[in-house]
Structure formats: structure tokens, C-alpha cells
Structure 1
Amino acid sequence: MYLLILFALLLGYSQVRDSSLRPDFSAKLTVVTLRADTGETVPSRVYLFKGNRPYRLSPVDAMLPLRADTYYRERLWRQDRDLKVLEVTARDASHFILLEGRAAFNLPRSRTDQNEKYRLEAYRGMFFEPAEIEFTLQAEEEKTISIELKPIAPGRQDEWLAADDHIHLMRAQEDDELFLKWLQAEDLAVGNFLELQRQQHAALQYAFGREGEARARGFSIRSGHETRSRFYGHTLVLGPEQMIRPLSIGHIYANSPAAYPFPTVFFQQGRDSGGVVGFAHFDGAMANSTLIMNLARKTIDFIELFQFGVLHTDRWYELLNAGFRVVGIAGSDFPASLRNDWPRIFPLLGPERALVKAEPGESAYDAWEEGVRQGAVLVSNGPLLEFTVNGKSSGATESWSGSSKVLKGEASVVFHRPIEKLEIVVNGRVVAIRGGDTKKTALQLPFETEVTESSWIAARASSLHREGEYEIWAHANPAYFLKDDEPVYVEADRAAVREHWEKEAEYYRNPSLVFEQEEQRQQLLRIVEETRAILARPAD
């Protein structure tokens, strides 16, 4: 009797699959991604192809299904086990994040009778050369493949903190560990996760300030918010100790027609709360903007210069030449940045980055934010660009006197693609250039130039990009050499900015703008007129 019961139990157990639900006849493939110069296992982003067609890796331990509809309410889903693999799905494509740099998958055999092979591609941020490997599998085979990711500038690249200033992902405290590992896989030291509003709040953050900062060694996630309106444009408050309310105004983004508060008001509140403040999408991406007003009154810390693959150099140079100190940073607006045919060379998080040369300390965010305040920022969607001039670099200011000033220095750039050109720019003019030869992945450019007026100077570089990819650029923020401590002043550019503001001022005088209190309207109009007065005189 006992033997019959034991036999029945064994028979029943044999019909129950393991919880992993491994398919019969599948091969077991273990993937390991390594840093080539140290041999350490590192998180990465990977893609598998079977016979040159995308093939989903399975099993995964967590998923983030994205359907960007501007309300940003997608949540992470996870298995109740150690998390090794995150699958991010968007626009009918899957992106796989190896959270520990090592994971095992179940795969069908290769159709070797048809010369079919597998191909695995691995990526890690911008400063590691992408790698790929081909292989075949037999049914029920167990195989381990290791793929090495080569740093483009060993040692030097680790001195920089890369940040994405603009990420919209809902975040609960329980999500922090997984999101931090995703940042590590993208080699992104700082993720600014931004709450926003479209009627209701979206991309919710569980806390702000220190309480809402997630940290791992060399990596930080910090809460911030995007405050939006049709009247003034889209703006950013990064890293405040508390949310500055309201998040939006006007019928498009909020729930009333009121045009208050305007950016000057909540920018000051954001700064008072310990944050850095500025405009998203360069000038806010709406028909009207108070960017010029906020620059003239020195009430912002940055503009979003590089996004969606577009580096807004012409408009930036005009503002710099008009006498404004304009710090350019970069960010993705993820997941709105995703497109149907995402170029895999670019990270999902931080496809455009604002980099600061600094030690991360206890908080990578704090170290990065200090660099933004100083203007010591490189923006890039690929190359690592470094430059010095008279012993100084981005954000530095030096006063000089006399008839002229010699500026002497060197720029260098490196990437895993051939460099097209490396240039030095003074007040918007290229004063030195070195072209690539379609092969070299690193260039150096010693330079010497003479200026006779207050000037800003910066370096920029471009790299080879392929069909379907964004143009690949890096641009250092300027250093400033000011004659008799006077700001840069190019009359044509100052006049263009002045003319632009006259058009904006006309809009803000429009009586159809709704204010709950007349004193709010008068406050705006007073500052509008003060800005006109500032622009009417030489830069200061």
C-alpha cells in the first residue's frame, strides 16, 4: 500500500514543471558581460537576434511595459525572486537590461541546417565600445558566452558623472534598487526623475529631497519636476527638497484657466528649496516663453540644450553673444524620446547627457548639481570631449585688461566611431579646426587665438553617424574671458534678442490672460517692462 502511494506521488511530481517553466528541448544560454580592461562583470543592455531577426530573451525577472501617452503612469512589474533581467518594452520592441551583468536564458536550437546563427549585441552607455558575438546552440545544450565591453578612454572616462536631466518614470521606494541597476547598465551616474501634471499628476515620485534620493556607489536618482504651461513654456526644477506647487497652470496641463504663477515666481521657490531651475526643450517648446526675461534677470541656472538628437547651437550662440551666461545641459524626456526604430547605439536613459567632471562622493547628484551651478558641463550623445584654455575649462571666468588677450589651450576627443571634426569656437566663430580622416577615433587640437573684446570660448566635436541615427555631437560649455570684467556683447545678437522679447512682451500684455488677482497681472507686467529696460542697454 505504502509503495503504491509513493509511486503515485512520484508520478504526480513528475508531471509538475519547475517554476521556471523551462521548455522541453531548450538550450540553456548563460550570458556574461565584462569590462574588457578589468575583467569585472558589469550590468549592460543587450539584444538577441536569431537568423538576423530580433528574438526575445526568456525568462526575465521584471518588466516595464511602456506606452507613452503623456500621462506617464506605467509601473514596474517583477517576479518574487532575485532580479537579474529587466525587459523594457516600447513601440513593439524589447530592450533587455542585465541588472547584474550575468543571466541565463532558455532558447531553441539554431537551425544549422539553414546556416542559422544567433547574434548577441551588448551596450553600456556611451563610453564603452558596443560588442557583439555570434554562436549556435543545440537542443538541450548548456553554453556560457562572455562578451567584453571595451572602454574608449580607460581611467579618464571614469572621472566624469553623466546625467539625464529629464526622465518621466513613476517611482515607488521599492523600485529604487532596480532603477539604480538600470542606471549602472547605461553607465548613467545621475537620473533626474521628474513628476509632472496633465490634469492629474503623472510620473509620480514617492518623495522629494534627501528622503526621495536613491543611492548606490557612484549613482543617484533624485526627484524633480517639470512645471508646464501654454503661457510660459515647459520648465524644470531639479533636486528640490520639496515639490513646488502647482505643477502646471492653464487648461492644457492643469484644471483652470489661470496664468499664475509665472516662472520667475516658482523658479525662486525652487532655488529656495535647494534646487536648480531652468527651461526644458531649450526655451520651453511652446509658442511663447519667458526664457529671455529669466536670463536677463538671472533667475535660471540652465537651459536644456541637447535633446531628441538636436543640439541647438545657433540659438545658444545668439544668447551667449547677447551677453547672457547660459549653461547648457541635456536630457532625454524619456519615454517620450523613444521611437519605433530606436538606434541601439544610444542608451535608453541618457541618449543625450550632461556630464560633469567630479568625484561622486556620498551623492552623485550633489556633485553633478554643483557642476551645473558652475557651468562646468559637457553635453554629448557620444564622444568624450575635454578642453582647457589658459589653464581653465568650462564655466570658468577670467577678467583681463589691455588691447588684446591670447587664448591658448588644447582640446581632445575620443569615441568608438571615427571623429569627423574637432573645433574651437569663439563668440560663435570657428577659430581652429582639425578634421578627421574617416578612421581615427581620437583627435587632439592644440590652439592659440587672440581676442580684442570680451569673449566666450568652447570646444565641439562630431563623429560619424549612420543612416537612421541622430547626428553625434559633443559640446563643452564655454569659458569666459571678459575685458575689464564686461560681459560679451555682439550688437547684432543683442538686437535680435531684444526684438524677440518685444514680440513676447506684446503677448504678455494681452488682457485675455486670466489672473485670479489683478496684482498678479501687474507683477508680471512690471517684470516684462523691467526686462525691456535691461535689454535696451548694453549687457551687464
Structure 2
Amino acid sequence: MSVSNAPFWFRLLVLMLFACWLPGGVGFAQGQAAGQLVLQTTDASTGLETPVRVRLTRNGFAVKKLPKEAVAVMYGVWDHADGYGYQPDSSFYVNGRFTLDLAPGTYRLALSKGPEYIDQQHELQIRPGQIYRGNYKLARWVDMPQKRWYSADDHIHIRRSPREDSLLLTWTRAEDIHVGVMLRMGDFWETYYQQYAWGEKGVYQKGGYLLTTGQEDPRTPELGHVVGIGASASVRYKNEYYLYDKVFDRLRELGGLGGYAHQAETFHGYRGLVLDGLRGKVDVLELLQFCASDNPLIVEHYYHLLDLGIPVTAVAGSDFPWCGKDHDKGRPERSARIGNARFYTYVPDSLNYNNWKAGLTAGHTYVSSGPQLLLEVNQKLPGDKLEVSKGTTLKITARAWGHATQVPLQTLEIVGHGQVLGRVTANAAGQSSEQLSLELNLPAEKGIWLAARAYGGKQQAAHTTPVYVYVDGKGFHNPATAPQYLKLSQKYLQELKKDIKHKSDDPQMRAWHYRAGLKRRIAETSIVIKELKQKLR
């Protein structure tokens, strides 16, 4: 008798027995009683229960059963309900404890809490009818808040109402993100991931962690994607959608900052960055992210503006749930994680929304996917303007922190005008994979921007916003590269002019519709380029 022709009760029994032996299955065979996992996670420094990210596997497969304590919020690309309790890699978040009935067997438990905490891996043996109690302490290998530097993810896309605030804060706390920026996303037609309030009214804070609201809008394939942070209201000009400068101006009027997402690398963002950056409209640039490349740190377009003497603050974000470390490797289940790219802001006083925004506005930031990095130039922080007279000694100090196995440091560099001025490696005397330090004394001959960058293991990098050095009142531009960057700026403007010359039948390509307004802005930027050619000699 074939199974397909067997009675229903027989087919059901076969199915139940088969399910018991499926990888990651939670059933039990031969009448075995289930066991139980009771887990608690605490912060090693405080002794208090702490939110964590959990991944439970059996035979290499994720266990297909969530504890009732799993913190679930709807999320997905294009604001669809693609996920809920599970994260894209089949992990889940809990607020310090959970209980789960499991079939007897051997399991692997992975616990993590962002890059400043040491990841944990445990093997669990679940026995029939018995309780396995796991009490785990999550310990930091570095404590950046103690140094007054606080992590933020500027690019999280999740629809939010007041009801989800406490749940979403558990998610960001589980990744040790102190400031989670929830972005409403827009395009020419619609907006997505709606947010219920803006500015201080949109802030939800508990202890040293908070959520706030921002926008990724406008977004076009010809000019790139705009990111707006800290404004007291959203800004959207549907009938003037490609005129980004109107958005940037209004964001500033509303107390916010505006700039470009995705390192200005994708969606021709470098065109918009030149068009708006050269006219002084851009405040920030997402310098580190896993959307455009496996290499999360892409500096070409950043250095373009800096070498032309235009200050821009470095920020970073995950673009959850869109981008991740394996986004282009056919592994969508591992493609997104809150906080996998983040930036740190110096907040000397207590962490709250206004103090954090003040630090961000001042440019006191560095971006990181693992290494921790600090820079000082004559006791000035990243983002600061340092005015000196010619011949003054610039004392430059850079320090990086890592972890021998989790974030193994490789190199630390001091960069000036895009060139490496000093470099140390982990195998040099007095250095290690856990700490690198570098000091330089540089005579101030001309204006210069100075930054630090560090590299750890695969896909682990960090970069500071520069300190901007003015010598005898003159700017920090780079005379050696300014001509080529101005020529490149003209090339980008010509690309845009070509795009808007003819009507496009592609419904996504709408720049031609704003031809008159864009031509005016291109002409304004061309005048700026001519003026810079004279000024930056």
C-alpha cells in the first residue's frame, strides 16, 4: 500500500513522525517528553536584565518556534509585512528572559548585543522532562558611553506608532543602539513607514536609549536619496520633487540636518551631492553602510567635497530592512540587521534628544562597523574648526579599540587631504589587535582637513569626521586636488544635463519633468565651480 493511498490516520501519523526528525524541528519521538529552556540575560556591569539578540539552532538549522517572550514588530521592504517575530537571519529579540519547550537534543545558542559587547556561543543539551536553566552575563569589551560617545543608527525603516515605541526600543537596545532614527521613506508617488510625530514630539526615551524620527525623502534614481534628521516636521514637496535644495533649506529652518544616503554612491547620488553640496546645502553624508558594496566604507565622494573646502559630517546607518553584509550574495535571510553600520556622537552632558542633536550638529562623530575610534587635533574634536597661524604645531592623536577575536584591529591611519600621513599596524611594537595609537606633530603650513580611519576584520572599518584646520584665516581645501575635483563636478553636472534633455518613458525617471528648475540649479552650481577655480588656486 502506498502512503498516498493509505487511510488519513496513517498518513497523519507518518507526517507527525517525520516532523519529529526535521532539522530544527521541535517535536519528539518515541513518546519522549519535551525538555524546557529557561534563559536569562543580564548586563555584566549592572547585574540587571538586558535585551539581547538570540539565535537558536539545531543541526545547523534555526529552530522554528518562538518563545512567547520574543519581542515582535511588523517590518519589511516597501512597508510590507515580510517579518514579525523573527529577524531576517532567524534570530529574535527578548527583553532579558524567555522560556521555550524543546524536543530533547543538542542545540546551539548565540547571544549578541551589538559590537561593543562580546558575542556568546553556547551548546545546550536538552533532556526529556528536564529544565535547562541558562543565566548568561553580557560583558562589554569597550564602553564608549563611559567616554561620552553614544551610538546611533540613522537609517531604520519601520512603521511606528506610540504603541510600538517600547517594543522598538527593545530592538535597538538589544543592538546597543542609543539613538535609533526611524525614517519615513518616500518616492515620487507615495510615502512609506509612517511616523506619528516629529522633533521632540516624536522622541521616545527610556534610560540612556531613545528613538527619534527622520526622513529618507526625496529619493530618485537620477539624483540619489536624501536623509533628513532632527527636523520638527517632515518636509515633502511633491510638485517640486526633484528640487532637493528646497528640502534641505526647509529642514534647516525646522532645526534639522539634511544630506545624502548610501555614501552618495548609488542612484547617482554623487550628482545630487555635487549639485547641492557645492552650493552649501548639505550637512551630512552616510559614509558607512552595507547597501552599495561589501566594503562598507566608501570615501570617494566624501573626500571630493572635503578637498573642495566644504565641511560635511559623517553619519552611518543600517538601512534596515533593506541592506546588509550579504545583500549581494544570494543570502536574503542574512541581509539586514539594525546597527550593523552605526555612528557615534560625542555628548558631554546627559544623553537626551537635544544634547545628542547638538553634538551631531557640531559634527562630533565617527562611523563604525566594529572598531572604535577617537581623534583629537590640538584638543579639538572631529567637526571642530581649528584656527592657527602658519608654523603652529598640530598635535594629532588617534586611538582605536578592538577585540582580539570579534573586532581584531589591523591598521590605524591619520589622513590629511585624503593622503595617509601616518599609519600603524597591529604587529608593530607597542600595538595590538585590541588597541592602536598614533601621534603626529605636523607643522601648519596651509589649511587642511584631518581625519582618522581604522580597519579591523572583514567588513570592519571606522572613520571620523575631520577636524578642519584654517591657517591664517584661509580655508582647509586641497589646492593639489581641487582642479580635478572641480572638473569631476562639471562631469557630474553634464551627466544630469544629458538626462533631463529628453523626455523619458520610464515612469521612475522623472527628472526631465523638472528640466527648467534643474537647469537653473545646474547653472548656479556651474557659477560656484568657476568661483572656486579662482579661489582654490
Q: Return the match for 2:398 from 408, 411, 420.
A: 411
> Secondary structure of the residue that 2:91 maps to in structure 1?
strand
TM-score, normalisation: structure 1: 0.81
2:104 to 109, 125, 140: 109
Pair 1:293–1:502, CA change in 2 (3 A): same
Give the deviation of 1:488 after TM superposition: 2.1
> Secondary structure of the residue that 1:491 maps to in structure 2?
coil
Corresponding position of 1:427: 417
Summarize deviations over 1:425-478 as a string: whole Å, max 9, x none: 12222222221139632222233233421111121111123xxxxx20111111
**1:52-451, aligned counterparts within 5 Å?**
52-61=60-69, 62-64=71-73, 66-68=75-77, 71-74=78-81, 87-90=85-88, 93-98=89-94, 100-110=95-105, 117-154=106-143, 157=146, 159-198=148-187, 199-227=189-217, 228-246=219-237, 260-283=241-264, 285-287=266-268, 289-308=271-290, 309-338=295-324, 339=327, 341=331, 348-358=337-347, 361=350, 363=352, 365-402=353-390, 404-416=391-403, 417-437=407-427, 440-451=433-444
In structure 1, list runs of 5 or more residues that go unmatched.
1-20, 78-86, 111-116, 250-257, 466-470
Give the whole-Å Cα distance in 1 for the aligned partners of 2:395 and 2:314: 23
| Residue 21 of structure 2: aligned partner | none
The secondary structure found in structure 1 opposite 2:535 is coil
Q: Please point out which of 526, 529, 535 is paired with 2:532.
A: 535
- Counterpart of 1:135, as a letter, is L
| Counterparts in 2 of 1:25 and 1:421: CA distance versus 1, 3 Å | same
Structure 1 residues 217 and 475: CA distance shift in structure 2, 3 A: same
Shift of 1:156: 5.4
- Offset at residue 189 of structure 1 (A): 0.9
On the 8 A contact 2:450/2:467 being kept in 1, the answer is yes
| Partner Cα separation in structure 2 for residue 126 and residue 517 of structure 1 | 46
Residues 305 and 521 of structure 1: CA distance in aligned 2, closer, same or farther (over 3 Å):
closer
Inter-partner Cα distance in structure 2 for 1:447 and 1:507: 41
1:12 corresponds to which residue?
none
Residue 29 (structure 1) aligns with: 37
Tell which deviates more after alignment, 51-60 or 122-131: 51-60
**TM-superposed deviation, 1:26:** 1.8
Question: 1:142 & 1:264 partners in 2: Cα distance?
Answer: 61
1:414/1:57 Cα in 2 relative to 1: closer, same or farther (>3 Å)? farther
Q: Quick one: structure 1 residues 411 and 158, their matched pair in 2 at CA, closer, same or farther if it must change by over 3 Å? A: closer
- 8 Å CA contact retained: 2:109, 2:123: yes
Q: Whole-Å Cα distance in 2 between the matches of residues 157 and 123 of structure 1?
A: 20
Paired letter, 1:425:
V
Counterparts in 2 of 1:405 and 1:314: CA distance versus 1, 3 Å? farther
Q: Which residue of 2 aligns with 1:113?
A: none
Report the TM-score when normalising by structure 2. 0.82
Answer whether contact 2:501 2:515 (CA < 8 A) is retained.
no
SS at match of 2:528: helix
1:474 has 2:462 as partner: yes
Which one has the bigger strand percentage? Answer: 1
Secondary structure in 1 matching 2:139: strand
Q: Deviations over 1:297-329 (max 9, x none)?
A: 221211111111521123322322221212111
Distance in 1 (CA, whole Å) between partners of 2:146 and 2:115 is: 10
**Structure 2, unaligned runs of 5 or more:** 1-25, 503-510
**Structure 1's 33 and 439: CA in aligned 2 closer, same or farther, altered over 3 A?**
farther
Whether the aligned pair in 1 keeps the contact of 2:242 and 2:514 (CA below 8 Å) is: no
- In the alignment, the residues of structure 2 paired with residue 516 and residue 498 of structure 1 have an alpha-carbon distance, to the nearest angstrom, of 25
Deviation of residue 123 (structure 1)? 0.6
Measured in 2, the distance between the counterparts of 1:435 and 1:521 equals: 47
For 1:356 and 1:524, the matched residues in 2 are separated by 33
CA-based RMSD of the aligned residues comes to 2.9
Aligned-pair distance for 1:157? 4.9
Residue identity in the other structure for 1:207:
A
Q: Which residue of 1 is the match for residue 19 of structure 2?
A: none
Task: Report the CA distance between 1:515 and its aligned residue.
Answer: 5.2
One-letter code of the match for 2:448? Answer: S
Q: Which amino acid aligns with 2:223?
A: Y
Q: Is the 1:420–1:462 contact (alpha carbons within 8 Å) kept by the matching residues of 2?
A: yes
Provide the C-alpha distance between the structure 2 equivalents of 1:283 and 1:58, rounded to a whole number of angstroms. 39
- 1:89-123 per-residue CA deviation (whole Å, 9 max, x = no partner) reads 43xx312111x21111111111xxxxxx3221111
Structure 1 stretch 217-226 or stretch 335-344: which is displaced more? 335-344
Amino acid at match of 2:306: L
Distance 1:63 1:41 in 2: 19
Q: Provide Cα deviations, 1:32-85, integer angstroms capped at 9, x if missing partner.
A: 1222233322111111122443324532344346553xx2233886xxxxxxxx
- Equivalent position SS for 1:413: strand
